[in-house]
Chains A and B, each alone.
Chain A
Amino acid sequence: LPVSDNLEADALKFLGRFGYISSAQAEQGAQSLMSVDLSEAIKKLQRMGGITQTGVLDIRTRELMQKPRCGVKDPVGEEEGGRKKR
């Protein structure tokens, strides 16, 4: 299913900026993103942030996206390659 129109553009921008959706999706725009991809991306963000993994843009997730942070992408995408988690 395509992403519904009411998703906040800021959330997509955040997910793209910090590596939770692929460079391709970030460059191609919201129309390329499936809702299942988005839910998984939000879960990864929630996992990294240490909050409950609901897969939706709940209040805690929105707060997390407002908090000051480092600009380096988080190691969640496969595209970076070569990263090892221990």
Chain B
Amino acid sequence: SESQYDYEVYHSLEEIQNWMFEMNRSRPELVTMLSLGKSYEGRPLFVLQLGKRSCLQKKSVWIDCGVHAREWIGPAFCQWFVKEALSTYKYDSVMTRLLNHLDFFIMPVFNVDGYRFSWNTDRFWRKTRSKNHKFHCRGVDANRNWKVKWCDEGASSHPCDDTYCGPFPESEPEVKAVAKFLRKHKRHMKAYISIHAYAQMLLYPYSYKYAAIPNFNCVESAAQNAVTALYSAYGVRYRYGPAATTLYVSSGSSIDWAYKNGIPYAFAFELRDTGHFGFLLPESLIKPTCTETLKAVKAIASGLLKKC
């Protein structure tokens, strides 16, 4: 049951999906479970919609975790977010206001096939698990498969490479399903947040060019508020800024696609750490990492309820 679920350990895909069913069953006033479609290997792509029911259409926030299979702290954070949202609704004024005025769409595991493969076979798998009939290698980098500056610098057109962009944009059913959902809800979707690891950064568009986004001031301010909130928890510093200048110019990723498709605030978090454990962040660090990241996400969401 919900009270026994341990949010400070990593969970298998099956455990996470059972947990989602339980969230949906136990908190019907705030939770609706959706399925966006099927993965390459036929697994359901589940999403939890969080928010007080309302007959008025509310602004929405999308959060996906686990685009890259080996980045386990992502799914841990998505589950942490849901747990904190549900347990602090009506007790924490900020979360109460957020759930009353916003709908959150949380996808704890975007790359369900890859995540499962990283649990059972290859701990450092990154890609999806699609097959390429001409090559023995499998999988596409789901963050290089979006229809924006597709397969450019920093992506590879070779199926055996970790940054393989795929045979064509949205070739991956997981990416296609999420893109279709976001396109359908774009009028109300005000923020897109993608959780990755590791590097301790908060990035926003563009990745593929040095130009500044039109609403740079508002997005930069939201990012600054977010990393300030994050720092307030344990004093961990995050770098933030446009992906192209903060990291390197690379081909389009999901945040560029979201922004290009009209979602005004698009962020990618690279969570802890900066390389000491890398993808192997110990379970003992799940709580502090998720606690600080929650503060950042709440800061971003709160900003949506203000004018900028």
Do A and B interact? no
Binding site for A on B (CB under 8 A): none
Binding site for B on A (CB under 8 A): none
